[in-house]
Structure 1
Amino acid sequence: MGSEELFTVPIHPMEAHQGGSIVCTSPAPQVYLLTWNSPPDNRLTPAFCSALMSALNIIEFGYPPGVLITTSAISKFYSNGLDLELAIGTPGFFEDELYFLWRRFLTYPMPTIALINGHCFAAGLMLAMHHDYRVFTGPKGYMCLNEIEFGMPLMAPMSSIFRIKLAPPVYRQLVLEAHRFDGKEALSAGLVDAVGDLYALLDFVRDKGLVKKSATGVYGLLKAEMYRESVELLESGVGGASQLPVLQAAEKKRKIEGTKWFNPQRGMEARRRRRECLQVEVDASVRGDQVIDLTAHTGKEIEGLQKDELVHLVAKRIVVFFWDQVISPQQQPELGEYYGKSRFKHGTRVTSFAEKPYFDPSTLTRWQALGLLDEGELPFDGPAWRIG
């Protein structure tokens, strides 16, 4: 097959990456084939993204509209994704270069096809997904999102295109299982539209009449509306490198707090101490707006606590440790509560809240000093607990 070479864009070296080039040829009239070669595995470095953006601009503004195809000169890799350390260490790379490049493909004003002739992993697969079509050459090579294996969260601009284009079970396999799809599986799952070589791809282009699709000038506008969610996310600037430490810090904090709450040894000791201090009896004779008489019956004095604080501390204990307590028939008459009225009936669970907040930092500090709460533990979340 004859193929006219149109132009070459260099990929400049960058740190450990030796650079390379993107060569544009025309294997058929108005069909533009971009073949990139950036050893060893076509990482999406800032230099790579810049060169690819230049090639897209040259084709759009320097040649008649037609069809754009991308592929790799390295038979083993279409693209192995990012150099993560370099990407995170380059200010603005995600927002200004990578996402901008993906948006360019997503709204490019002519049909785009990724001819995947080798492994297509992580951000390399994301790049392919922002093409209109994907054709897998096979028989070797896999398509995979392996972020779960190296601990990289997927930002919204990265994941949205998969939600739009794939069925939920396939998306789950990609993201949560890091499943490696070969050509046959990828075709069945809808990750690719066909399996075959460049000759088969040119037949694919001819059969669908793709060369003429951009002639009316609205092809890019139609795609921008089709993929509006992804376009908006890619333009928004969210999901940059600066967000990574924020997400990681929030997850670390969540795990630390969870350990405090669910550590069996500490949790059992805290519960034992509260049980010793707070044996509760409800005086069923109380009516109306009177305060329920909640009394500690262990014979231990809880110094430093005011009566109101004791009421709510005991109420907290009821909710936590008597969640399924069945109120006896003798306690069925209407009972007062600290804020307003409530009715206890046989089988009632203590689950409701008072609307008025009731504690301040000094109260919490005293409770912690008495050993009634672990460090960082709250007696209740926001509103005060009530019985009702």
Structure 2
Amino acid sequence: MQYVELLQEENLALVALNRGKVNALNDEVVGELTSCLEKLAADVSVAAVILTGKGKFFSFGFDIPHFMSYSKEDFTRYLESFSFLYTKVYLFPKPVIAALNGHAIAGGCMLANACDYRIMTEGKGKISLNEVTFGSSVFAGAVDILKALVGSRNAETILLGGNMYSAEQAETLGLIDRRTSEENLMSEAKRIARDCGRLDRRAFESIKRLLRYELVERYKEREAASISEFVEIWYSEETRNQIKNIAIR
């Protein structure tokens, strides 16, 4: 894989996004991560997964300059693949721990929210669903997952405010489960993953599905319409004028 690194330590799979300095998401990253997760789901030697990023970013979110040249049809297909990915993470049959090594923005935050547990480094890293600040919408699934995670009122605060949150603020809101130092991030993530990985696998998968399947079925009924609305807003003159100057470095 070009942009997704996979390392197995005993019964833990360590999956790292590795695309440039900010781990921006595009077709290739989403495709590689989806394929990787499908293999890990079927691998009986893997008890739990840790998802992280290389460098100072977990993920910036979508590679906006990359998508500026896409047709509506091609961009819609990408969004459908991204929706499929975060749903796969949300229903993954094994524990998935997000080790947030740095900024987790927009689509990067959505991906983290779909994991079972989020641990974030203290310091300069921020987490945000800031789409409203650059004239973009979100997806039905991302909204429902967020509401299940932080509650309806906090979800409104996060989505309608579009603010960047420190690890401490995110922990207060419920966006992350705990914070730790940069040096301890992976050791803590591995400890949590090992604890979760010791649980009975069939029982874990069954209970997780019972907890989440109904929510997923509800948002699937609205996902296509929300993606269509997302695309129409994205291609509006107002939004294009806001996003055209966003640079990925």
TM-score (norm. length: structure 2)? 0.81
Q: Deviations over 1:170-207 (max 9, x none)?
A: 2122111112211111122211112121112223334x
The answer to whether the aligner puts 1:222 opposite 2:203 as a matched pair is no
Among the aligned pairs, what percent are the same residue?
23
Give 1:145 shift: 1.1
Q: Secondary structure at the match of 1:242?
A: helix
Gaps of 5+ in 2: 239-249
Look up the match of 2:166: 182
Measured in 2, the distance between the counterparts of 1:52 and 1:204 equals 22
Measured in 1, the distance between the counterparts of 2:170 and 2:100 equals 11
Q: Deviations over 1:336-384 (max 9, x none)?
A: xxxxxxxxxxxxxxxxxxxxxxxxxxxxxxxxxxxxxxxxxxxxxxxxx
The answer to whether the aligner puts 1:199 opposite 2:187 as a matched pair is yes
Give 1:103 shift: 1.0
Which structure would you say has the larger RCO, counting Cα contacts within 8 Å and 6 or more residues apart?
Answer: 2
**Bigger shift: 188-197 or 58-67?**
58-67
More helix by share: 2
Measured in 2, the distance between the counterparts of 1:192 and 1:248 equals 28
Measured in 2, the distance between the counterparts of 1:103 and 1:62 equals 19
The answer to whether the aligner puts 1:23 opposite 2:5 as a matched pair is yes
Look up the match of 2:244: none
Q: What amino acid is the match of 1:151?
A: G
Q: Secondary structure at the match of 1:64?
A: coil
Q: Secondary structure at the match of 1:92?
A: helix
Measured in 1, the distance between the counterparts of 2:190 and 2:231 equals 45
Measured in 2, the distance between the counterparts of 1:231 and 1:83 equals 28
The answer to whether the aligner puts 1:40 opposite 2:7 as a matched pair is no
Out of 48, 72, 83, which is 1:99 matched to? 83
Out of 61, 74, 94, which is 1:81 matched to? 61
Q: Deviations over 1:275-302 (max 9, x none)?
A: xxxxxxxxxxxxxxxxxxxxxxxxxxxx
C-alpha RMSD of matched pairs (Å): 2.6
For the pair shown, which has the larger CA radius of gyration, 1 or 2?
1
Give 1:73 shift: 1.1
Change (3 A) 1:203 1:241: closer
Q: What amino acid is the match of 2:35?
A: S
Look up the match of 2:156: 172
TM-score (norm. length: structure 1)? 0.54
Measured in 1, the distance between the counterparts of 2:223 and 2:151 equals 27
Gaps of 5+ in 1: 1-8, 11-20, 253-388
Q: Paired residues, what number?
A: 227
